[in-house]
Amino acid sequence: MTSEYEIKKQICEIGKRIYDKGMVAANDGNISVRIGKNLFLCTPTGVSKGFMTPEYICKVDGEGKVIQANPGFKPSSEIKMHMRVYKERPDVNAVVHAHPLYATGFAIAGKPLSQPIMPEAVIALGCVPIAEYGTPSTDEIPEAVSKYLQNFDAVLLENHGALTYSDSLLNAYYKMESVEFYARLLYISCQLGGPKELSKAQVERLYDIRRQFGLKGKHPADICVNNNAGLPSCYSAGICDTCSADNSGTDNVSEDLVARITQKVMEQLSK
């Protein structure tokens, strides 16, 4: 079993990576890891996550109350957001919050990552919704994020940043990388005249592959399975346009599809 000290070192390593990759500026971002039934390690508030050593890392309980912290260090101001994820997702063992440039740009523009543009992003993430704006450190962000936790492993935080979570710290970090890579590609393809989206049939094949691989975590592919049973699909849940997009066989995004995407974005904005 990995020692607590080793996990603290891993948190510092991931902090350095998100800082070095420009996913956070100055003291931004936070990271936590579940180490016991009601025990967690988390980054301290108000320090650069790029320059941490294991002594910086705080230990908290499931309410975010301090169990151990060295003098001068207090748990992240966003600890309630982390704890909400653990509470509602028992399969999650690590949470990463960052402000990656492109993903945060989409979160600020109020545009969810909902266009199927490349197989890896479709398989890893499906689509990435935006949780409604909340004031940092308050209960507003955990509340806003809550409604997406059962169907997604990555959420944009409106006018703020991105949140990813997974069964391990490395996987939670990889999800953050995937979100940012997807956002960058979507942005670049928009600059090049607009992405050529994968068709509905192509997306469904990728969703099938994901299900066959038995990949861990929550994903819109599972909502689409629900859809066959008459439960909400990611489309009817108002998050993705993928599942009901009638774009099979067309090379370009139809005006109708653009209109529907615009409508969904407007709905997200008016929530």
- Which residues would be at the binding site for ligand 13P (CB under 6 A)? 27-30, 43, 45-46, 76-78, 136
CA atoms within 13 A on the CB side of 255: 0
Closer of 76 and 233 to ligand 13P (Cβ): 76
Q: How far is the CB of 78 from ligand 13P (least distance, A)?
A: 5
Angstrom distance (rounded) from CA 124 to CA 210: 8
**Which sign does the torsion angle of CA 131, 207, 180, 169 carry?**
positive
Say which DSSP state 197 is in.
Answer: P
Closer Cβ to ligand 13P, 30 or 151, answer by number = 30
* 146, 45, 133, 240 alpha-carbon torsion, rounded to 10°: -50
Could you give the CA distance from residue 153 to residue 166 in angstroms, rounded to a whole number? 7
Please state the closest distance from residue 130 (CB atom) to ligand 13P, in A: 16
Give the residue numbers annotated as catalytic, written as ranges.
78
Identify which of residues 43 and 227 has a Cβ nearer to ligand 13P in the complex.
43
Write down the least CB distance from residue 264 to ligand 13P, Å.
Answer: 26
Tell me whether residue 29 or residue 100 sits nearer to ligand 13P (CB atom): 29
Q: How far is the CB of 15 from ligand 13P (least distance, A)?
A: 10
Radius of gyration of the chain (CA): 19
Query: What CA–CA distance (Å, rounded) separates 170 from 175?
Result: 9
